[in-house]
Amino acid sequence: MPRQDRTPPPAERATALRHRLAELRGPEVQAKALDARALAALASNPGCRRRAILDGAGVDKARLATGLGSPSDYGQSQFALIRGNVFEARVKADRGAELLRLAHACFDPATEPPAGAAVPDLTADGPKGRTARTELALREAVEAGGWTLLDHPMLALEVAGAPAFLEPDAVVVHPDGVWTVVEIKSFPMLDGSADASKVGAAARQSAVYVLALEEVAARLDPAIRVRHEVLLVCPKDFSNLPTARAVDVRRQRAVTARQLTRLTRIEEIADGLPEGTCFAPDRTPEELEAAVDAVPATYAPECLSSCELAFHCRERSRASGAVTRLGRPLRAELGGLRTVEEVLSAARGESGDPDDPAVAALRRAAALRAEALAHAAAAREVTLCP
């Protein structure tokens, strides 16, 4: 008798995964959308299964951190959000006339300035409906030619086996059919340049939009080109007037694409969790702590600027003595040594393979330190002698 394939069809697996993720965040809890900023942070730390499952399930990590007793101040202040919204509205006023002028000046200065642009209505029911409406608007823009401005389009990108819906500030379709991602930020651009760390964060976020937009372009027409330079719009100097510069995100796009492929699929992580695991905010701190600790994390100091659970994970990392809390570069130099105690033991010559380059370097460093301390002690004795 032929063996029957018991693997469920993709649609059935997707439905089962949705139900499982709903159980993890709480049946009555609304899923928190995974935005590009969170996705860029997830891609920068692909080994963290804890963040992968929490983001995949739509868990509000800020509420979870508060429930664990380790609230985080990560995120934008209310004042910054209001200031950003006001500036964005100014940039997009008059059907995006100023935004189109900046896009023309940065990318098409040799062509005729835009006299206007189509601004299609992208409203639809739910993220999937908005994604489909955005794709239709992009198709129509390519067929019509001319300038088109898509205000807050919705894009979809598969992350670890689950869809993530992304909403860039804007996408401009140029008369030659090229698509450009627009990122509007409220930090100032002084004399044509802005804070490097903030520009870097904006580039990583925009790279996620470029990846998602490339998938749409591939479905519509492989000949469509998505520009790998995004238009970064910021206030000019200390005014509220907009200015812009082109930011090349090819490196960030390549890194993000590579890291996303390394993410463990959500269903694999969910299948490995104990029965009854739930991150709902109405659970007790003890229950939430047990649920969070059931998923392994990969903490690094960089998490403090990108994850709401960073304080909790740092405390756990310190308690376990993990070397990752000292930074990824140092962790890479230590090879197979995973804890601070293992490092100290290897440096003292109590454990470790002497032929291991990391162990040999530690022992050499320990010998140099001991020699330096001995010289310092001898110098103090000479100084103290009458």
CA 293, 295, 299, 304 torsion: positive or negative? negative
Nearest-angstrom CA–CA distance, 170 and 185: 12
pLDDT digits (tens, 9 = 90+) for 250-308: 999 998 888 877 766 788 888 889 988 999 988 999 999 999 999 998 888 888 878 88
How high is the pLDDT of residue 158? 82
How high is the pLDDT of residue 1? 45
Is residue 15 pLDDT above 70, yes or no? yes
CA–CA distance from 167 to each of 128, 151, 174, 234 (Å)?
Answer: 12, 9, 20, 18
Instruction: Give the start-to-end residue ranges of the domains of the chain.
Output: 13-72+265-323, 78-261, 340-376
Is residue 2 pLDDT above 60, yes or no? no
Is residue 205 pLDDT above 50, yes or no? yes
CB 228 within 8 A of CB 246: no
For the chain, the straight-line distance linking the first and the last C-alpha, in angstroms and rounded, comes to: 100
Q: Give the orientation angle of helix 250-262 with respect to helix 36-44, to 10 degrees.
A: 70
Is residue 163 pLDDT above 80, yes or no? no
pTM: 0.73
CATH 1.10.8 fits 78-261, yes or no: no
Beta bridge partners, 171, equal: 150, 181
Is residue 4 pLDDT above 60, yes or no? no
DSSP structure string for 202-251 = HHHHHHHHHHHHHHHHHHH-TT--B-SEEEEEEEBTTSS-EEEEEEE-HH
